[in-house]
Structure 1
Amino acid sequence: MERLWCELSVFYEAKNYQTYVVFPTVSEVPECLIDHNCIVEQADFTSRSLRSVMHQASYIKKNSIKAVYLTDQETKSFRFFIFRLCGVREIIVHDHTPGVRTHPGFLKKLIKVILNRLPLFSCTACFAVSPYVKQRLININGVPPSKVHCVTNGIEATNVKPGLREEGETVRIVTVGRASYYKGIDFALRVIRSLVYEHECRNIRYELFGDGPDLETFKKLAAELEIEPYVVFHGAVSNVAAKLETCDIAFHPSKGEAMSLAILEYMRAGLPVVAPNNPSVSSTLEHDQDSIIYQEGDVENAVNALLGLITSSEYRNRLGKCGQSRIVNEFSTEAMLLRFRRALSTVIG
């Protein structure tokens, strides 16, 4: 996000605007914001209570704010009307929220569609962090398609190394993420058990890079499933990128994402990705090109997806090479910033 705020500052500085970056609380100011002449202050724009909205309006008037860029906020609101009365001309909402949403009924959808078309009460534009989030904003939130712009995440691609790996004695399967049920770690452990005991895959090791509230529970589950010799819980780790270079397959069984940076990290490292057909998780992946997509919640389907990769280093390398190519061409930081600049230019002019 900091890279986008800096880019926002560059964009508006060319129009003789000062950029303010506000947080509910401020403990440390990121160096890059200082370098880009951003004024960082404490102000809570997340609360929607009447008192908070009045404080927000006061801040806007005091600093003559003309454009508001919000992260993970509502797309229509009475407070937007208040903001506009205070002089705001453009309101952009950037949606990074994870997960699948339930389709609203006809009446609820109609109300959303109407409210998101009211000029004073709806945002000027929405930036979506992935193709799935873009469709979610249109189909679930009722935002007009003309207002929604896809600005997918990106990561540094300058240090991409050839991902060819030799076939070794042990195939390392990795997940990067919080140790929580929402990330599907319990499902992953059951898949590993099936691989070990039902398919005789004794040459595998499953590794989790990440701490979280359910870590101890998962350690107990691994013991109950009798897969402790095949599982390593690393907890929180540093330099994940370097560690991924020593792995062979990425397994990402999450129940919901917006645009997973972990998946981009797997691809940059040249790992084939195994992920569920949950659109919020796999919308940026291409089946049998950079990944294998399995039926969400189906242990045997996930097992079969992994088996093909476990038994063929050539297959792993082919998918991994494609993933690296897509990082360079589609999901680099520069590609992300270019999409961001284009979206801003379309909305602001």
Structure 2
Amino acid sequence: MKKIALVKWILDDSGGGERVAISLANELTKKYEVHLIGITTKQSDLFFKINSQVKYSNFFDHRVRLSKNILKISKMLKKYFRDNEIEVAFGIGISANVFLSFAGIGTQTKVVLCDHTNSITDNREFSQKVQRYVGAKFADKIITLTQEDCRNYIKKYGISEEKIDYIYNWKDDGISNVAYNDESAKIVTVGRFDYQKGYDYLVQVAKKVLAKRSDWIWEIYGSGDQDEVDKIRDLINENGLQEKLVIKGLEKNQDLIYGDKGIYVMTSRYEGLPLVLLEAQQYNLPIVSFSCPTGPNEIIEDGVNGYLVECYNTDKLSEKLLELMEDEVLRQSFSEHAKDNLDKFNKDKILKQWLELIETI
């Protein structure tokens, strides 16, 4: 039985990266001996449940600085790989790129780096450029979440097509039995509180649309950086939206999040492949989203099951959202096509890609 490891910087959050790492580890136990390593994970009670067959390890039970601990973590991983005879190691998220690449040097372990945001928007942070550059040069394989990002890697880093591929996140098996309610006057957005998610844009849009349709409410589900939560709450209060734009916090029950909603909205500055859009489609929700890099363009069919809007154009997003809010028939039409393209995110198809990668690398 092949021995593999999945490595992630933190595992105690509720984001897409944590979900993917744990879900993938759980599924791969059906065929392999799977080790899941959280480098700096504070909580023993993780948001996502780990299969009892997964061999879970945590290097630090408190937050540590990546920049000051790269060599230490690399040595710890190298020892772990040798002691446990790990054949393939997956780094989930680019924060793993440098220390995992170094850990693989001088071992028999093949290193696969999985980028869970995108290489198009890393101009904002020098550290992201370094992490992706090191990964592109030293990893045995790079996996992106989208075709768009895969093409960008080849162009940006000059790597061969054989060294890189894209594998979509899968949608969960369960399909909602909750019928879409085209009379619902509720909008929903889900995601952690972070600059990336563009909640400042969301407040601008909410102010415009809720002023015209005061019978609607908008709910935000998620946790995250408390400073960001406070900042967005202050913006909500400053704009007099506290009764109509409501921060609901963290919620595990997807029926409560999506089940009684009429529209899903995403205002992210950038993404990898946003799982929340797949979740919204499973609940037959029409979607309005910025056409940000990357993901929305490969999930939403513009004018068929949602609207893709020019990045960060809050006026245009408000216009398209109002169009949906005011047209019950259009919402129903979009809802009927919500699941049209979900087959390409089929779990069995995507797991087959992971298995082929593990067997051939």
Query: Fold conserved (TM > 0.5)?
Result: yes
SS of aligned partner of 2:302: coil
Return the letter of the residue paired with 1:282: P
Specify whether residues 290 and 62 from structure 1 end up closer, same or farther in structure 2 by C-alpha distance, changes over 3 A only: same
Q: How many matched pairs?
A: 323
* One-letter identity of the residue aligned with 1:140: K
Once the 2 structures are TM-superposed, how far is the Cα of residue 334 of structure 1 from its aligned partner? 3.1
2:306 maps to 1:291: yes
Q: Any stretches of 5+ residues in structure 1 without a counterpart? A: none
Identity rate, percent: 18
Q: CA RMSD in A?
A: 3.3
In structure 2, the residue matched to 1:233 is 247
> Quick one: which of 353, 356, 359 aligns to 1:339?
353
Matches within 5 A, 1:25-44: 27=44, 32-35=50-53, 38-43=54-59
Worse-superposed segment, 262-271 or 205-214: 205-214
Letter in 2 for 1:188: L
Give yes or no for the alignment of 1:313 onto 2:313.
Answer: no
Quickly say closer, same or farther: Cα 1:286–1:51, change in 2 above 3 A: same
1:208 matched to 2:220: yes
CA distance in 2 between counterparts of 1:181 and 1:188 reads 12
Higher relative contact order (CA 8 A, sep 6+): 1
In the alignment, which of 274, 281, 284 is matched to residue 260 of structure 1?
274
Call closer, same or farther: CA 1:9–1:303 in 2, change over 3 Å.
same
**Cα gap change, 1:339 to 1:216, in 2 (>3 Å):** same
CA distance in 1, matches of 2:231, 2:285: 28
Q: What are the superposed Cα offsets for residues 57-87 of structure 1, whole Å, 9 maximum, x if unpaired?
A: 3333333333222222479869747635233
1:16-165 aligned at under 5 Å gives the runs 18-24=33-39, 27=44, 32-35=50-53, 38-43=54-59, 49-73=70-94, 80=101, 83-88=104-109, 90-97=110-117, 100-101=120-121, 116=136, 122-161=138-177, 163-165=179-181
* Bigger mean CA deviation after superposition, 22-31 or 330-339: 22-31
Deviations 1:104-138 (A, max 9, x none): 9xxxx9xx99994xxxx622212222333323432
Q: Distance in 1 between matches of 2:350 and 2:332?
A: 26
Q: TM-score, normalised by structure 2?
A: 0.76
Cα distance between partner residues in 2 of 1:303 and 1:20: 46
Which of 296, 302, 324 matches 2:339?
324
Letter of the 2:71 partner, please give it.
L
Partners of 2:223 and 2:101 in 1: CA distance? 38
The one-letter code matched in structure 2 to 1:50 is: L
Residues 69, 181 of structure 1: alpha-carbon distance in 2 compared, 3 angstrom cutoff: closer
CA distance in 2, matches of 1:5, 1:100: 28
> Which consecutive residues of structure 2, in runs of 5 or more, have no partner in the other structure?
1-20, 61-65
Q: Which deviations, in whole Å up to 9, do the C-alpha atoms of 1:36-58 show, x marking residues without a partner? A: xx4333448x7763344333333
Give the secondary structure class of the aligned counterpart of 2:317.
helix
Residue type at the aligned position of 1:34: S
TM-score, normalised by the number of residues in structure 1: 0.78
Q: Which entry has the higher C-alpha Rg, 1 or 2? A: 1
For residues 196 and 62 of structure 1, do their structure 2 counterparts lie closer, same or farther at Cα, with a shift above 3 Å needed? closer
Matches of 1:226 and 1:167 in 2, distance apart? 25
